Amino acid sequence: MPSPRQVFDESIRPAELLVRVYRLLECERIETGGALMDKLRPLVGAAHDEDLLLVANDIFLGLIRENAQMPSGALKRVALDNLLRQAVVAACTGLDTYLPSLLRANLPLVIAAQGRQFFPPDADLQLYFKDLTFDLTETVGLLNRADAPDYLAGRIRSHIKGAYLSSKKGIHIVGALLQLDKPWDRIAGHLGRDRKELMTVLEDTTTRRNDIVHRADRAQSDPEGPIREINFPWTSQAVETIKVVCMALDDLVKARMVELTAEIQQRAQEGLA
């Protein structure tokens, strides 16, 4: 089974690719003729009457031939902006897949190591799970289950399943469950970044994803209004922030799991002494 980090890397890659493709294709205007086009025609074997489109900027030179059936309008900035919107959606999908994967891989170890103390006294966490209950038969049954940590972890994940984790609060919930005290402070410290700035960028990105998916990038406050503008720098920052936040969280959780594993091994050694 792939690790949570591998799951995330696979999920975030399309977002990064979309941003790069946008950067390749953006240009001030699409050329259909001129001296450079005259030089390129014989190089590609294009007839004198074949319609060609030339995309040129400081990092890319691309020639689009007639058989591609690509109208010049599809390469205008307003059309290419949809690549950026889909990059936002793909980045948030990466977050959607990563957080449950992180819990699946590590929560049983947390429960095994911490026992009844595994659920931290965190107000946001307790509010989030206020509807998760165990009946008497289920509770008594846990006393004799060798796989109690796996069972409890499964019940918690089932409660979360379908819930909205892709938010600054979702990252806090997952981090706290995995024994990170003040997860956002830890993430910001690991990155050397300002906590509020990180949280704001991530929250703006996940909110924008919802606007894109549900309202074709119209604000929730004005669903009948105009489509909002989007640009390369903002999108690059949004995708990169989700990436580095998840990478930092992954580092922090791995380090904490090493500590918990050592605690379990020490208790086992003491029990044998």
Percent of the chain residues past pLDDT 90, beyond the cut: 53
SS3 125: helix
Condensed to tens digits (0 to 9), the pLDDT of residues 121-141 reads: 878 877 877 776 665 455 555
User: Using 50, 70 and 90 to split pLDDT, how confident is the model at 192?
Assistant: very high
User: Using 50, 70 and 90 to split pLDDT, how confident is the model at 272?
Assistant: low
Condensed to tens digits (0 to 9), the pLDDT of residues 101-118 reads: 998 899 889 988 887 788
Statement: residue 172 has pLDDT above 90: yes
**pTM of the predicted protein model:** 0.86
Contact criterion met (CB below 8 Å) for 218 and 211: yes
Measured CA to CA, the distance from residue 266 to residue 88 in angstroms comes to 45
Measured CA to CA, the distance from residue 182 to residue 256 in angstroms comes to 13
